[in-house]
Structure 1
Amino acid sequence: MPTPKRQLGDRGEQVAAVYLERCGYTIIARNWRCRNGEIDMVARDGDYLVFVEVRTRRDEYALESLLMHKRQRLVTLAYHYLAEHDVPETTPWRIDVIALTVVGNRLVVTDHVMAAIGEEGCA
């Protein structure tokens, strides 16, 4: 049985997926894994391939919980995904972060930061 923290994270990812689809994104993959870790979601937003990190917290500090080592690992994971899926080098990509916070008994998207982690992959 998943821990309460894992259950909250899973709920957050589900809410984030619905939010992204309502914003016009197409979800390509969820919980994509390789030996270096996991990307919560991979999506399309127009021409962009978007790697999405979902941060779900019970307090208002969801965005602040994304530490530098996690940011660097997300960039590494994005490169692994691009290589494994033979994505053309000309394909623009970015890493978005979606923050959700528990409000009462609901999860609310509090932030969606596009290209939140550098400009590494933007063509």
Structure 2
Amino acid sequence: MLVTPNGNSEGPFKLMIAGYFILDINSGESAIDLAERIVVVAVNQKTAKAYTGKMHNIGFRKSPFSNTPPSSGNSFETISSNFNIDLFQNLNIPTQAAIYSVYATLDDQKSNAVQIEVDIK
């Protein structure tokens, strides 16, 4: 299920998280390919069950800054994006009370984790 940039998704429940990232990529690497490699993970803190899902490419933008590390001849570009993702829709988290540790991965890189508490009333 693709979630639009303003967080709209279909279904009776939403568990939206928002984030922002800045990444250095090799020149010529497709931002769309990069987006398809990002995986969002939510781990239930009580059961240790992990739920994973991919972020969908909604819109990446290139930074006006690019850099070349002095120790190599490789050229790097910086891309950044903000995102909204619905954990119910994209990760298929069950609709029940729980506490999750949520983070994103890209290849061998891992973001900081945030803790989210779901309370169903």
State TM-score, norm by structure 1: 0.29
The answer to which structure, 1 or 2, has the higher relative contact order (CA under 8 A, 6+ apart) is 2
The structure with the greater share of residues assigned to helix is 1
Give the greater-gyration-radius structure (CA).
Answer: 2
State TM-score, norm by structure 2: 0.30
